[in-house]
A and B are shown apart, each in its own frame.
Chain A
């Protein structure tokens, strides 16, 4: 019995480590090759804190005597989690700045090697290459959890707890935000959310759970050895997550059972060669799976619910009518406090060069409250460049952008959205793996559920808030005529519907200035009509809209005013009909 319990404990340890990594890899889409280090940091912290003090060991400090602070196991467990959390935060601050995936791989790989090296060198802290031993086992009310048959219950509870925590976080609005960042960081920023902070937090929470597992393993094994926390373990954890299915916690459970029991299973046939054979097998499994089934055994979104035929794709129970939706969305307060005489957006003398090419040369124009303004002009006129500079995506060489009379030039996109100016993207950038509903809900501002601390300490308030958020998202979709598809995954929607989802997401932000980048490009004619009526809705609700668009037909039907650009400067302003009536402009536009 002991033999099997011991194997089960090592499988559960691997499982919990992999579950916590899946929070980072699956939800936030970031690879860490150093997960074993945080496991080790937790183990050493807990070991050092629970070892007996010098006095308890006879009061004489001799060389080689391993002493600690005689803490009891539970506070030591918490401390291990806190230390791992802080260590991860320290590492991830530079890592997150360099968002490109390869840099994070490099940084965490190097961190893994160095931290493992340090564990063997820092004698005073870790006890050197042989580590620490003599760590007391967990004792609760006189029961000592030393034998595998007893400790397995503690480990089982810990695993269930970790699963529940990862699941609750992943399926919360915070997890939704992480998934959004994973797929389109720029889109998350464009609806007013700073994408950096959630990533840091995901990294650190994941490390904290690993640290907790480390503490438990120290209590169980009674010793902590640096070589246990090497790169091989980090790679094994990544393999469990990837083979099981990135972003699917049940997949991780299966992956850990398969890979974790591989070595003891092989041992019966090949003896001590089981360790290299295990590595060959899971290495080969990685290669084969990435070729045949890159999403893993259980791909994201496939759960037991889906397997039993529940959920997925059904329309919501109650679809609000347009009037109901309008009624609830109407009372959005205007952000305007300044005098009405100041135009809501003013662009002064913007300049931008790319190498020797002057893309924008002194563009000056304004957007008027509640109007739809189109930026038109021939290809290469600088429309998109100006647009990108207005939304913070591109730095202007010189010139200023004012919003409600306040200078906002060069502010990051999430800051602009918080001030009431948000944009859409020509290539949509809705999150393909999420439902339309989740995509739109991401646009809603001030969500309690996106704050980690609120999630932990006021779960009921978060739940109430989430109900409002989802209602609002549904209203926005109802207004654009896509509420019946709210539960459909975006990857299964038509391109036209995806554009509508993106507009609904903008609507949900409550921003009063909306910049739309080619909202009808690549959309079939039937959907174009829906986009046009959707943008009409935005105007009805009092939004100020600015759009870049090639289709004259579209611009004529929607725009109150047009700004005609050529070679990076404004050459005319007026109604679309006026401008198109001027022969020289029409020639410029259509070419002769």
Chain B
């Protein structure tokens, strides 16, 4: 095996995996508490990217402010989906399958709406300087370093928030026993709102990190949302660090697979890994077995 190649693939696996970890935590924090298979999570990802592009192009905001505008757009869209669409469904005791179908409808309509409004072409943000650093044989860009640091700082912050704060504990309470949690005075709707704020914020950050290096397209949100699903299920639902490690493992796995396989097979490896884990440990790598 070529050691230099291996080192380079490991580094790029960590870069990709850190984003996957962010996506995993982002989906996991919503799914674990609400049990909604939130496919429309893609809306916050693409919404953030298009918000930033629009703020930069139409409003002429400077780069930093455009990013903030995009972030706000993503979070607002994510929370609106919960308040406008999911909450009334829950009130009517709709099944989770019905709520999933609502989510599916939103995730079909939104990217096509983006395409009608903004056109199908690629959109870009102004590119910040992106010098590369050489560590021996391994090359890494400044943007990559920033992406890794931002991802893990946010993951650590969310994990600490859930475990250490009073509100975080009420999130855990809603996750494990919603009826009991509401009986002792926890406001379920407020917990759901906060969970959607956190989850949408994280995926909006991921969307912006992607767009500063790549391009925005109407359908950009779907693939990362699914990656988030897989990372969260792989790591174990209900555990932030589990979802994060699930994402990191996915990134490394798909990167290392390039040693032996064509690049096109990356998703196949990811899927195979998930298949195996679901077969052997349905509760995920770090999840607790159901009673």
Compute how far the CA of A294 lies from the CA of B96 in the bound complex, rounded to whole angstroms: 12
Contact B116 A118, beta carbon cutoff 8 Å: no
Residue-wise, chain A 438-466 has the 8 Å CB interface mask toward B (1 for contact) of 00000000000000000000000000000
Contact B279 A97, beta carbon cutoff 8 Å: yes
A277 (CB) vs chain B CBs: closest residue: B116
Residue B275 is within 8 A (CB to CB) of chain A in the complex: yes
Chain A residues with CB under 8 Å of B163's CB are: none
- Tell me the minimal C-beta distance from B179 to chain A in angstroms: 16
Compute how far the CA of A282 lies from the CA of B94 in the bound complex, rounded to whole angstroms: 20
Chain B residues with CB under 8 Å of A273's CB are: 116
A114/B271 contact (C-beta < 8 A), A106-B233, A290-B101 known: yes
Compute how far the CA of A280 lies from the CA of B108 in the bound complex, rounded to whole angstroms: 7
Residue A540 is within 8 A (CB to CB) of chain B in the complex: no
A236 (CB) vs chain B CBs: closest residue: B108
Contact A238 B104, beta carbon cutoff 8 Å: yes
Residue A102 is within 8 A (CB to CB) of chain B in the complex: yes
Chain A residues with CB under 8 Å of B112's CB are: 275-277, 279-280, 283
B279 (CB) vs chain A CBs: closest residue: A94
Compute how far the CA of A277 lies from the CA of B111 in the bound complex, rounded to whole angstroms: 11
B115 (CB) vs chain A CBs: closest residue: A276
Q: Which of B82-101 contact A (CB under 8 A)?
A: 85, 88-89, 94, 96-101
Residue B149 is within 8 A (CB to CB) of chain A in the complex: no
Q: Which of B153-161, B195-203, B261-269 contacts A (4 or more CB under 8 A)?
A: B261-269
Chain B residues with CB under 8 Å of A242's CB are: 101
Chain A residues with CB under 8 Å of B222's CB are: 231
Compute how far the CA of A279 lies from the CA of B278 in the bound complex, rounded to whole angstroms: 32
Contact A121 B97, beta carbon cutoff 8 Å: no
What band does the interface of chain B fall in when counting residues whose beta carbon is under 8 Å from A? 35 or more
Q: Which of A105, A111, A231, A239 has the most CB of B within 10 A?
A: A105
Contact B271 A105, beta carbon cutoff 8 Å: no
Q: Which of A511-561 contact B (CB under 8 A)?
A: none
Contact B226 A113, beta carbon cutoff 8 Å: yes
Chain A residues with CB under 8 Å of B265's CB are: 121
Contact A276 B37, beta carbon cutoff 8 Å: no
Chain B residues with CB under 8 Å of A284's CB are: 105, 109
Contact A276 B101, beta carbon cutoff 8 Å: no
Contact A287 B96, beta carbon cutoff 8 Å: no
Chain A residues with CB under 8 Å of B287's CB are: none
Compute how far the CA of A107 lies from the CA of B275 in the bound complex, rounded to whole angstroms: 8
Contact A285 B226, beta carbon cutoff 8 Å: no
Chain B residues with CB under 8 Å of A285's CB are: 105
Contact B229 A109, beta carbon cutoff 8 Å: yes
Residue A110 is within 8 A (CB to CB) of chain B in the complex: yes
Q: Which of A86-123 contact B (CB under 8 A)?
A: 94, 97-98, 101-103, 105-107, 109-111, 113-114, 117-118, 120-121
Residue A165 is within 8 A (CB to CB) of chain B in the complex: no
Compute how far the CA of A102 lies from the CA of B30 in the bound complex, rounded to whole angstroms: 14
Residue B162 is within 8 A (CB to CB) of chain A in the complex: no
Residue B186 is within 8 A (CB to CB) of chain A in the complex: no
B120 (CB) vs chain A CBs: closest residue: A276
Chain B residues with CB under 8 Å of A111's CB are: 271
Compute how far the CA of A290 lies from the CA of B233 in the bound complex, rounded to whole angstroms: 27
Residue A31 is within 8 A (CB to CB) of chain B in the complex: yes
Residue A302 is within 8 A (CB to CB) of chain B in the complex: no
Contact B96 A101, beta carbon cutoff 8 Å: yes
Compute how far the CA of A378 lies from the CA of B268 in the bound complex, rounded to whole angstroms: 56
Compute how far the CA of A374 lies from the CA of B111 in the bound complex, rounded to whole angstroms: 61
- Tell me the minimal C-beta distance from A547 to chain B in angstroms: 26
Residue-wise, chain A 343-360 has the 8 Å CB interface mask toward B (1 for contact) of 000000000001000000
- Tell me the minimal C-beta distance from B250 to chain A in angstroms: 12
A282 (CB) vs chain B CBs: closest residue: B108
Q: Which of A253-304 contact B (CB under 8 A)?
A: 273, 275-277, 279-280, 282-287, 290-291, 294
The interface residues of chain B, by DSSP majority, are classed as: helix
Residue B67 is within 8 A (CB to CB) of chain A in the complex: no
Compute how far the CA of A103 lies from the CA of B279 in the bound complex, rounded to whole angstroms: 11
Compute how far the CA of A280 lies from the CA of B111 in the bound complex, rounded to whole angstroms: 8
- Tell me the minimal C-beta distance from A170 to chain B in angstroms: 19
- Tell me the minimal C-beta distance from B157 to chain A in angstroms: 27
Chain B residues with CB under 8 Å of A232's CB are: 108
Compute how far the CA of A272 lies from the CA of B279 in the bound complex, rounded to whole angstroms: 44
Residue A235 is within 8 A (CB to CB) of chain B in the complex: yes
A110/B271 contact (C-beta < 8 A), A102-B37, A102-B96, A291-B88 known: yes
Contact A286 B101, beta carbon cutoff 8 Å: yes
Compute how far the CA of A113 lies from the CA of B265 in the bound complex, rounded to whole angstroms: 12
Contact B278 A117, beta carbon cutoff 8 Å: no
Contact A287 B102, beta carbon cutoff 8 Å: yes
Contact A105 B37, beta carbon cutoff 8 Å: yes
Q: Which of A110, A114, A273, A285 has the most CB of B within 10 A?
A: A110
Chain A residues with CB under 8 Å of B223's CB are: 113
- Tell me the minimal C-beta distance from A384 to chain B in angstroms: 15
Contact B102 A121, beta carbon cutoff 8 Å: no
Residue-wise, chain B 238-280 has the 8 Å CB interface mask toward A (1 for contact) of 0000000000000000000000001011011011001100110
Cβ-defined partner of B105 (8 Å) among A102, A290, A354 = A290
- Tell me the minimal C-beta distance from B26 to chain A in angstroms: 16
A98/B282 contact (C-beta < 8 A), A110-B271, A110-B274, A294-B94 known: yes
Compute how far the CA of A354 lies from the CA of B291 in the bound complex, rounded to whole angstroms: 9
Contact B97 A235, beta carbon cutoff 8 Å: no
Q: Which of B184-239 contact A (CB under 8 A)?
A: 222-223, 226, 229-230, 233
- Tell me the minimal C-beta distance from A14 to chain B in angstroms: 15
Compute how far the CA of A290 lies from the CA of B106 in the bound complex, rounded to whole angstroms: 12
Contact B275 A94, beta carbon cutoff 8 Å: yes
A283/B279 contact (C-beta < 8 A), A235-B104, A294-B94 known: no
A121/B264 contact (C-beta < 8 A), A94-B278, A102-B96 known: yes
Residue B152 is within 8 A (CB to CB) of chain A in the complex: no
Q: Which of A292-328 contact B (CB under 8 A)?
A: 294
Cβ-defined partner of A291 (8 Å) among B102, B274, B278 = B102
Chain B residues with CB under 8 Å of A231's CB are: 222
Chain B residues with CB under 8 Å of A283's CB are: 104-110, 112
Chain A residues with CB under 8 Å of B267's CB are: 113-114, 117
- Tell me the minimal C-beta distance from A252 to chain B in angstroms: 15
Residue B113 is within 8 A (CB to CB) of chain A in the complex: yes
Contact A110 B226, beta carbon cutoff 8 Å: yes
Cβ-defined partner of B113 (8 Å) among A113, A239, A280, A282 = A280
Compute how far the CA of A102 lies from the CA of B275 in the bound complex, rounded to whole angstroms: 14
Cβ-defined partner of B108 (8 Å) among A98, A113, A235 = A235
Compute how far the CA of A285 lies from the CA of B88 in the bound complex, rounded to whole angstroms: 17
A275 (CB) vs chain B CBs: closest residue: B112
Compute how far the CA of A113 lies from the CA of B267 in the bound complex, rounded to whole angstroms: 8
Compute how far the CA of A506 lies from the CA of B122 in the bound complex, rounded to whole angstroms: 63
- Tell me the minimal C-beta distance from A506 to chain B in angstroms: 28
- Tell me the minimal C-beta distance from A245 to chain B in angstroms: 13
- Tell me the minimal C-beta distance from A557 to chain B in angstroms: 35
Chain A residues with CB under 8 Å of B268's CB are: 114, 117-118
Chain B residues with CB under 8 Å of A277's CB are: 112, 116
Contact A280 B100, beta carbon cutoff 8 Å: no
- Tell me the minimal C-beta distance from B95 to chain A in angstroms: 8
Compute how far the CA of A98 lies from the CA of B278 in the bound complex, rounded to whole angstroms: 8
Contact A121 B106, beta carbon cutoff 8 Å: no
Chain B residues with CB under 8 Å of A238's CB are: 101, 104
Given A114-B267, A283-B112, 7 new contacts (CB under 8 A):
A31-B97, A106-B229, A121-B264, A238-B104, A283-B110, A287-B109, A290-B102
Q: Which 7 residue pairs of A and B lie closest in terms of their CB atoms, listed nearest first? A: A283-B109, A286-B105, A283-B108, A276-B112, A279-B112, A287-B105, A114-B271
14 CB contacts below 8 A, A to B, read A94-B275, A97-B279, A103-B282, A106-B37, A106-B230, A106-B274, A109-B229, A110-B275, A113-B267, A114-B270, A279-B109, A283-B107, A287-B85, A287-B109
